[in-house]
Amino acid sequence: MQKFEPLLDHHVPWLCYRSTKNTKLVYFSCNKCASTFYDAFFKKLNWIETNTQEINWSDDYVFSYIRHPLVRHRKGIVEGIVNFFPEMKSVFVGHPERFRFLANLTSVEAHSYSLYRMLGENAKHIDWIPIDTELDHKQYTLNILTAHNENIDQETATWFTKFNKANESTAKEIEFFNQLYSIKTPPEILRYLDFDICLYNKVTTPPPHIFAGKYYAKRIHELLNQGLSQEEAEKIVDIEIYDNIDRKQEKC
């Protein structure tokens, strides 16, 4: 019997931009992760358009942006329906019960492809910058560029830091997304996104000392208010910190 292989598109030349100053520096354009904004930014820096097939994964430094895979996936489904198959929108809008069918689709077109479907194991070689956490992804980007001697002129830097949103969703698209996102995620979709979720968890889980520094005192205070002693509270928080990190990484 032929072994089943998931649908993969690793051979597709997915869009990237390469620096002309440091030619080993590559930005991978990831759909539904502020790609419209960041594509425009790297074009302003005169980076040249390239693709994933031109990357030397063992030598190039590749970075990109990431958001929670389920949010990204659902936004991708909405993008596919609204912009690529607009004639289908009326099938779902105003019919909440039909969203259950939509919730089971792994993809409509490329905007809803998983990272694993596009990149396979190469996704592990990318420096992923989350855009949906407290991290300042713009400053992180500037730090990367500075570390690689990629100087930015003042005009471009000002545009970059002050620009808010590009390709902002319409009210109807937001309503469409909220309706879809409110439906319990089917197991098939969770399996489809398993690699991506694992990757996201690794990227967004801070090291133990950072986690402790940010949440330790707050959590201790909560437990003391519940009547626990200082010693009891400290033991619980220590367990929670390391258990949280181990649980997020155990599958990866």
Q: Is residue 121 domain-shared with residue 223, that is, in the same domain?
A: no
165 & 244 share domain: no
Q: What percent of the chain has pLDDT over 70?
A: 85
Do 93 and 169 have their domain in common?
Answer: yes
> What pLDDT is stored for residue 95 in this prediction?
79
How far apart CA 113 and CA 100 sit, in angstroms, is 19
Which has the minimum average pLDDT: 20-24, 31-35, 39-43, 164-168?
164-168
What does the alpha-carbon distance between residue 172 and residue 175 come to, in Å, rounded to a whole number?
A: 5
Contacts of 76 (CB under 8 A, 6+ apart): 31, 32, 107, 108, 111, 112, 113
pLDDT tens digits, one per residue of 52-87: 999 999 999 999 999 999 999 999 999 999 888 878
Q: What's the pLDDT band for 217 if we cut at 50, 70, 90? A: low
pLDDT of residue 198: 92
Q: How far is CA 37 from CA 103, 116, 157, 171, 181, in A?
A: 28, 23, 13, 20, 24
d(CA 35, CA 12): 18
Give the pLDDT confidence score for residue 2 in this predicted structure: 47
Look-up of token digits 């319409």: 170
Of the candidates 17, 5, 11, which has an alpha carbon nearest to the alpha carbon of residue 118?
A: 11
Domain that holds residue 169: 15-204
Same domain, 192 and 223: no
Give a yes or no: residue 5 inside a domain. Answer: no
Is the torsion defined by CA of 14, 204, 133, 182 positive or negative? positive
Q: 193 and 212: one domain?
A: no
105-115 pLDDT, tens digit each: 999 999 999 99
CA distances from 87 to 83, 110, 150, 199 (A): 9, 18, 45, 35
Query: Is 114 in the same domain as 226?
Result: no
Q: Kindly state whether residue 3 falls inside one of the protein's structural domains.
A: no
Mean pLDDT of 147-172: 83
214 vs 111, 129, 206, 220, 228, CA distance in Å? 35, 20, 10, 12, 21
Determine, yes or no, domain membership for 98: yes
What angle, 0 to 180 degrees and rounded to 10, lies between the N-to-C axes of helices 171-181 and 69-79?
A: 130
- Could you tell me the pTM of the whole model? 0.79
Whose structure tokens read 């489809």?
192
> Is pLDDT at 94 greater than 50 in this prediction?
yes
Sorting pLDDT into bands at 50, 70 and 90, what band is 247? very low
Q: How confident is the model at residue 200 (pLDDT cuts 50, 70, 90)?
A: very high
Percent of the chain at pLDDT above 90? 51
Structure confidence at residue 209 (pLDDT): 46
Is the same domain home to 224 and 185?
Answer: no
Whether 1 maps to a domain, the answer reads no
Q: Is residue 8 part of a domain?
A: no
99 lies in the same domain as 224: no
The total number of structural domains in the chain stands at 2
Based on the domain organization, do 200 and 239 belong to the same domain? no
